[in-house]
Amino acid sequence: MLLLLLPLASARAQEASLVSVQTPRGAKQAFILIKPQKPVAAVILFAGGHGALRLTSASSMGWGAQNFVVRTRDKFARQGFMVAVADAPSDYQSARGMNAIFRMSSGHTNDIGAIVSYLKKQANVPVWLVGTSMGTFSAANGGIGLKNIDGIVLTSTITRADPNWSIRQSHPHGVASMRLSALTVPTLILSHRNDGCAITPASDTPKLTRALTKSRKVDVVLLDGGNAPKSEPCQALAQHGFYGIEDQAVARIAQFIKSN
C-alpha cells in the first residue's frame, strides 16, 4: 500500500510557478507551470469561456478557478505530465478576453508556440494541447498551425455557433468548421453523454470525426455520471465540466496521451 501512495505524495509535492514569456507579436503570455521531476509528456491546458484567468500568482486568479482544466491541473501533474495552464495573453486580459475569432487567429497560434518552445526547453517530451469548451478552438488552432505538437484533446467541444456570434456564418459548426483536415496528430474527443450545453452536445461528435480525415488516430470517449449540477448547463460545475467525474475524465485523457 505504501508503494502505491508514494508517487501520489511526490506529485503533490511539486510546486507550481507562474511563468510569463514574450510572444512573437510582442505580447506577454502567462501560464501556471507544474513540472514533475521526470515528466512523460507536457500538456497545455486551455480554459473555456473568455479564457482570461488574470493570473497574479500560480494559485491566484481573477477568473476561471472552477473551469474543468483549471481545477484539475494537479490531477494532470499526478499523471506524470508537465502542465501549463494558459492564461489569455496580456492584450486580451479585459473582461471580454479571447473570443473565437482570436482563438482561431495566427496571432494566437504564435502565442501558443511560445509556450511550446518554453516547455521544450524544460524537458524534451511530447507536447499535447488540451482544450475544453471555448478552449477547443485554441487546441485545434495550435494543432493545425504548429509543427511541434504531438496530439490534441478536445473536451466538451464547441460544435454549434451561438446565434449571436460573429462567426455564425463562417463557422456554423464551431470547431468542426475549422480546417480539421490539416490535423495529422492523434486526436481525442471527450464529451459527457448528458452535456446539456446547447452548443456542445455529445451527439455532434460525428461532425468532428468526419472532419478529422488525416489524423493518425481519432478516439471518441463519452462519459456518464457525476454529481448533480451546481451551475448552468454551459458552466463548469455541470456535466459540461465533468463535475463529479474529474478523476475519470483526466484518467481517460492521460491514457490516450500515454498510448500515443
Q: How many CB atoms lie within 10 A of CB 204?
A: 20
One DSSP character per residue, 195-225 reads: ---TTS-GGGHHHHHHH--S-S-EEEEEE--
In eight-state DSSP terms, residue 56 is S
Residue 28: what pLDDT? Answer: 98
Give per-residue pLDDT as tens, 235-260. 999 999 999 999 999 999 999 999 99
Chunked in runs of 10, what are the mean pLDDT values of the chain (260 residues)? 35 78 97 97 98 97 98 98 98 94 98 98 98 98 98 98 96 98 98 98 98 98 98 98 98 98
